[in-house]
Amino acid sequence: MLKKNGIPHNVLNAKQHKGEAEIVARAGQKGAVTIATNMAGRGTDIKLGDGIKELGGLHIIGTERHESRRIDLQLRGRSGRQGDAGSSVFYFH
C-alpha cells in the first residue's frame, strides 16, 4: 500500500542488521514512516528530531494484537518516552 501510493518508508525487521541503527535514527525524523516487527518493541529508543515534539511526537499504529499483552505494551511504549510527546492507536480487523 505504501509503495503503491508513493509513500517513502523503511522496514525494521531484524533482517538487515547493518542498516538497523540508521533506520531507527531516521524513524524519529519529520515525515518518516517506519514499518516494524515486534523486534522494535523492547529496547528500541527512537529519538525525536528537531521540531517533532511540537508536532505531537512519535505516533505508533499497531495492526494486530499479540498473545502477550506485554508485547503490545512494549510497542505502545515506544512513543511518549521520557516526557516526549507521542501517541499510539491499535486497529484490529
CATH number, domain of 25, equals 3.40.50.300
Model confidence at 39, in pLDDT bands (50, 70, 90)? Answer: low
Question: Where residue 6 falls among pLDDT bands split at 50, 70, 90?
Answer: very high
Instruction: Identify whether the C-beta of residue 4 lies closer than 8 Å to the C-beta of residue 32.
Output: no
Cα separation of 52 and 68, whole Å?
31
Beta-carbon contacts of 13 under 8 Å, excluding residues fewer than 6 positions away, are 35, 36, 37, 39
- Alpha-carbon gap, residue 88 to 62, rounded angstroms: 8
Specify if 4 maps to a domain: no
Is the residue at 3 inside a domain? no
pLDDT reported for residue 21: 85
- When divided into structural domains, the chain yields a total of 1
Give the percent of the chain with pLDDT over 70. Answer: 94
Measured between alpha carbons, how far is 20 from 16 in angstroms, rounded to an integer?
6
Amino acid 72: pLDDT: 78
Question: Does 5 fall in a domain?
Answer: no
Q: Which domain holds residue 34?
A: 10-90
> How far is residue 59's CA from residue 35's CA, in Å, rounded to a whole number?
12
- Please tell me the pTM assigned to this model: 0.76
Residue 60 lies in a domain: yes
